[in-house]
Amino acid sequence: MPAKEPLIPARLAYSADGTPYSQAFDDVYHSTDGGPQQARHVFLAGNGLPARWQEKPRFTILETGFGLGLNFLATWAAWQADPQRPERLDYFSVEKHPFGADDLAQLHAHWPELAPCASALRACWPVPTPGFHRLYLDGGRVCLTLLFGDARETLPKLRARVDAIYLDGFAPAKNPGLWHESIFRALARLCHADTTLATYTVAGAVRDGLNAAGFATEKRQGFGRKREMLSARFAARKPQPRADAVPARDRHAIVIGAGVAGCAISERLAARGWQVSLIERHAAPAQEASGNLAGIVRPMLSLDDNIASRLSRACFLFACRHWRSLIAEGMPVRWFPNGVLHLARDDAHEDLQRRIVDGLGFPADYVRYLGADEASELLHWPAMHGGWLFPGGGHANPASLCQAYLQRFPDRIERLFMREAISLEQTGDGWQVRDAHGRAFARAATLILASGAEAKRFGQTRDLPIRRVRGQVTHIPAGGMPALNLALTREGYATPALDGWHCVGASYELEENPNLSTDSTEGNLLRLEQMLPGSTRNIEASRLGGRVATRAAATDRLPLVGALPDLGAAMPPHASRLSEMPRLPGLYGLLGLGSRGLVWHALAAELLAAQLEGEALPLEADLVAAIDPARFLVRKSRLVHRGP
């Protein structure tokens, strides 16, 4: 089943008077009387901003049409200019037809007063693909999350509590889908008792729809030649509670495991002002599965753009942006975005790869298909088949990521290294971690397990559906195999030489052998030979070194991110939803990353940190549910209730 609809970018055009214009909707993007002025009058002032956000720790805005980014840029500039601004500004915006960065540069040139913000926005502008895209700006204090896709599909998947709504979009007569009652209901679901809304239109159908959804509307003076506009306040009888951050006294977490998962969640929490106690049984981070010299970073693709593909796309793009920002700060990230070529296995697979690329309609800077001749030219080696080229993919050194995460906020991350967590004890005010002598050496209200398969050693989590998977990587010295200018994958993978070694792998074995195995080495060489025929002719498996590590994979091969289930508790009668599953208070997991840990971990950590802070989430609700650690309980419960 193919994906519903490719994301179609906007096309740059202007009306006769030079106002940016949408050919798709036959309407202008902003008032001909001035774009920034309209943004300030209608959307900021219409929501009582900046006064309403002053002296609050966080303020969340939702916009229904990003367009040129003008409302966002005007809001960001107002936030910067306000000495009483909130510590963090969260801005969510839906856009069905996003512009490319080059077009935005032309459009933004008309507003020099917004140039610094506009330039920073374009520098991290995402590849236009469907889904949520989280961007951090202004040193992480401004968080823009773009929801690329139809508002009727994306808004119901947003999990947030918003303080102000910019109801923007083309005129109701030009774009009726954005002014439908289903949109108003979706907005109401995201509101609390103090949420306000502003829009430039006073059309009767819009007023009626907003009133029916629980908003109390009033007409105000419009902007420019438009006589009136609408302002509103959410006035439902039973508004949703406001999502407030965790009290400062509780913003301390214990994290067990200093691989990429544990270091990433430590950094994401520290960025929000948390204090973290990071427990690691080794003397340094990245000593187990995260200790491999290099790993591949690329997304997954599928004809139906399924859950795993959508999740991997979001994680891949977020990780690439996050690492670029760390590098810009001088962090020691060894990330090499030279591209990844994923070769087809055979003729049938080659045909499937072509159909997937054609059907999904992704931009060429995300993925494109290369025929065998193009692949051979790129590799400087004969390729039997073509494959997917991911230009933004590459390979990374996991240990350098761990170092960067821990160096970013060193005063907020306590390193409890050479300390092994043997047991966990739930107390009246949180959790205690005990060592082999039964001594409690760490205490906090929040405890996060990021220790891979070692999480199963604890009584509370021994029955989690994760399993140990042995992975052996083979090291081939530079010059011992064809030089690669980009990473290569098929059933296995091969990296360009790093520190004098190519990494070839990796085995996927359900066994516990910690030693190098000649059989595993030969399997890795076979996979290399399939990718580069003739490349292993003079290589002797018995003379090669490598590294063995144990990964932790869930039975459905998706991560486990979020509040951990209480597997020993009695199930409520007829419980069949995630919200009904029993949980262990204060105990969370960032587990089951398997062989895709480099891709999954950064956004998984961002998601968990957002959950702990009570923030709007960076992923669609169905993706969050797909990696909820309690999903297996839901499946079991449904089977029980369904009966034989």
* Domains in the chain: ranges and CATH: 21-234 (3.40.50.150), 258-288+400-454+555-642 (3.50.50.60), 295-303+331-398+467-554 (3.30.9.10)
Task: Check residue 297 and give its pLDDT.
Answer: 97
CA dihedral 560, 563, 565, 569 (to 10 degrees): 180
Torsion of CA 407, 411, 417, 421, to 10 degrees: -120
Q: How far apart are the first and last CA of the chain?
A: 30
Q: Report whether pLDDT(351) > 70.
A: yes
- Give the chain's mean pLDDT: 92
For 551, phi then psi, to 5°, come to: -95, 160
In this prediction the pTM is 0.95
Query: What are the phi and psi torsion angles at 278 (to 5°)?
Result: -100, 115
- Residue 1: pLDDT band with limits 50, 70, 90: very low
244 pLDDT above the threshold of 60: no
Q: What percent of the chain has pLDDT over 90?
A: 81
Q: CA nearest 633: which of 555, 556, 576? A: 576
Residue 641's pLDDT band, with cuts at 50, 70 and 90, is: low
Q: What pLDDT does 309 receive? A: 97
More confident residue, 222 or 93: 93
Q: What is the pLDDT of residues 508-530, one digit of tens each?
A: 988 888 999 999 999 999 999 99
Other CB atoms within a 10 A radius of the CB of residue 70 amount to 24
Nearest 10 degrees: Cα torsion 312, 315, 316, 322 = 180
Q: Is the peptide bond before 506 cis (omega within 30 degrees of 0)?
A: yes
Token pair 């039964």 is found at 438
Q: Which residues are CB-neighbours of 103 under 8 A, at least 6 positions away? A: 10, 12
The Cα–Cα gap between 47 and 42 comes to 8
Q: What's residue 167's pLDDT?
A: 95
Q: By percentage, how much of the chain surpasses pLDDT 70?
A: 94
- Looking at residue 642, what is its pLDDT? 55
Give per-residue pLDDT as tens, 116-166: 999 999 999 999 999 999 999 999 999 999 999 999 999 999 999 999 999
